[in-house]
Chain A
């Protein structure tokens, strides 16, 4: 099993955090993982992205041009990375921000209204958890319980009040692809 994932969006949309969550969850399940950020002087309105590898074998290259999955949080990201996705792969589109449709027909596209679901859950900031849920449900490479216990650890102590919100967002994201 090897997943090579590109997560891309505007700075501040939580794309790098989604990647880090995937890497941490993969590590918790005993997978080999890497997380590599783009660190250029990203232009306002452009893309900030990261590359994540989840693998049951040691990770060689941490960077790649043909991801198995793309998570596109904004339009420039979809435009930039759609053509590189492996045939049979998956593109997750944040449909509240991206109005374009995926042109490729040799892969699966999920349109997830992340912001809308996050608002329904009660906080726009958890839209990245919605997308994380969608990824986990669609690919089945990670156990949802791993993510949920990670969320519990992430918001320890005084931040514990955010746990139910994040778990709810994660579960709604899972439901969005089922």
Chain B
């Protein structure tokens, strides 16, 4: 199929339609506004629902309602807007409702900046709302991957009855790149026999609920959610290792910094520095075993984590995976500043020198 030039935000919106998204509820915020803009035009053309809600809080609760009735529902926003949705995401996860949430991250904290950022890693991977829960978090580093992951995001959500977050940054949303519309294999999905679609002669009433007045029942519900987390952690981990076979320095990064690191690898290798890239594609579940094994490899002398975050957030998971086998250091820029190839090259050399 011929390649087409697409803007990231518009491409994921189109990918959502192709993935069978029935309803979108959103609210504009830079740098993701092209997602609702595109869907406002194209969802009605496909006989699907687009609602610009009165707020982010309203949008995520509309997702709750639509998902409860068995619809493929989606919302998108950028960092401060995603913060507003956290209560709803906690309720969605507690009520076991599948949905897709796109966070096109900008710099924070607070209103921060409209430029790209990655400082929502903790929020995305630890469950940003109250309670013990996790959402699967997919982190594409280019537009093709973002598009390919949208179908998967909806399917994973339906498989586990759990919200899935697609975590990208403002640059991936704003830039244009050639993509191909590939056929992504669809998963065998369980029937949504739990949905509140009317009783239609069923012998029981379906309830969608996150409130348990009896503590033992809530405890059992938590145990059930935890079992699902274990299953997701076992089956859904994705990552990529580039030029790691002989790497002395392993750079860890996701999203835009990962692709910048790819260029840094070329520069480093041209200078004789054996550099590799380890890129988690699922941030939760984190590819812990894969990174642990790589860090244990004899050639590896140091690990350098690169993020668009002030002190690093993914670095916690990097350290937990590396588990002290090799030194882990950090380079990052925050507040909307994108790290340059040159900066990553210098940081990698420094990390290697310190390790030696």
| Residues of A with C-beta under 8 A to B222 | none
Q: Using an 8 Å CB-CB cutoff, how does the interface string of B273-302 with A read, 1 for contact, 0 for none? A: 000000000000000000000000000000
Instruction: Report whether A35 and B341 are in contact in the complex, using a CB–CB cutoff of 8 Å.
Output: no
Q: Does A36 contact B (CB under 8 A)?
A: yes
| Residues of B with C-beta under 8 A to A35 | 5, 175-177
Instruction: Report whether A63 and B5 are in contact in the complex, using a CB–CB cutoff of 8 Å.
Output: no
Instruction: Report whether B340 and A34 are in contact in the complex, using a CB–CB cutoff of 8 Å.
Output: no
Instruction: Report whether A40 and B114 are in contact in the complex, using a CB–CB cutoff of 8 Å.
Output: yes
Q: Which residues of A contact B (CB under 8 A)?
A: 20, 23-24, 27, 32-37, 39-41, 58-65
| Residues of B with C-beta under 8 A to A62 | 171, 175, 177, 256, 259
CB distance from A35 to the nearest CB of B (A): 4
Instruction: Report whether A27 and B5 are in contact in the complex, using a CB–CB cutoff of 8 Å.
Output: yes
* Chain B contact patch, size range: 20 to 34
9 A-B pairs (CB sep. < 8 Å): A23-B176, A27-B5, A37-B174, A39-B30, A39-B115, A39-B170, A60-B260, A60-B263, A65-B340
| Residues of A with C-beta under 8 A to B176 | 20, 23, 34-36
Of chain B, the residue at the smallest CB distance from A35 is: B176
Instruction: Report whether A64 and B341 are in contact in the complex, using a CB–CB cutoff of 8 Å.
Output: yes
A20 to B170, CA, bound (A): 19
A37 to B256, CA, bound (A): 14
Of chain B, the residue at the smallest CB distance from A20 is: B176
Instruction: Report whether B342 and A65 are in contact in the complex, using a CB–CB cutoff of 8 Å.
Output: yes
A154 to B167, CA, bound (A): 34
Instruction: Report whether B262 and A60 are in contact in the complex, using a CB–CB cutoff of 8 Å.
Output: yes
Among A33, A41, A58, A60, find the residue whose CB has the most chain B CB atoms closer than 10 A: A60
Known A-B contacts: A35-B176, A39-B114, A63-B260. Give 11 more (CB < 8 A): A20-B176, A32-B178, A33-B5, A34-B176, A39-B170, A40-B115, A60-B265, A60-B266, A62-B177, A62-B259, A64-B340
CB distance from B306 to the nearest CB of A (A): 12
| Residues of A with C-beta under 8 A to B171 | 36, 62-63
A32 to B3, CA, bound (A): 10
Q: Using an 8 Å CB-CB cutoff, how does the interface string of B157-188 with A read, 1 for contact, 0 for none? A: 00000000000001100111110000000000
Q: Does B128 contact A (CB under 8 A)?
A: no
Of chain A, the residue at the smallest CB distance from B178 is: A27
A59 to B179, CA, bound (A): 13
| Residues of A with C-beta under 8 A to B264 | 60-61
Q: Does B338 contact A (CB under 8 A)?
A: yes
Instruction: Report whether B31 and A33 are in contact in the complex, using a CB–CB cutoff of 8 Å.
Output: no
| Residues of B with C-beta under 8 A to A65 | 340, 342
Of chain B, the residue at the smallest CB distance from A31 is: B178
CB distance from A75 to the nearest CB of B (A): 24
Of chain A, the residue at the smallest CB distance from B30 is: A39
Q: If A33-B178, A34-B175, A63-B171 touch, does A39 touch B31 (CB 8 Å cutoff)?
A: yes
| Residues of B with C-beta under 8 A to A41 | 114
Instruction: Report whether A60 and B5 are in contact in the complex, using a CB–CB cutoff of 8 Å.
Output: no
- Pick the contact of A23: B5, B259, B340, B342 (CB < 8 A): B5
Instruction: Report whether A33 and B115 are in contact in the complex, using a CB–CB cutoff of 8 Å.
Output: no
CB distance from A4 to the nearest CB of B (A): 10
Q: If A23-B5, A63-B338 touch, does A39 touch B262 (CB 8 Å cutoff)?
A: no
Q: If A27-B3, A61-B263 touch, does A36 touch B174 (CB 8 Å cutoff)?
A: yes
CB distance from A48 to the nearest CB of B (A): 13
A163 to B124, CA, bound (A): 49
Instruction: Report whether B31 and A61 are in contact in the complex, using a CB–CB cutoff of 8 Å.
Output: no
Instruction: Report whether B175 and A36 are in contact in the complex, using a CB–CB cutoff of 8 Å.
Output: yes
| Residues of A with C-beta under 8 A to B262 | 58, 60-61
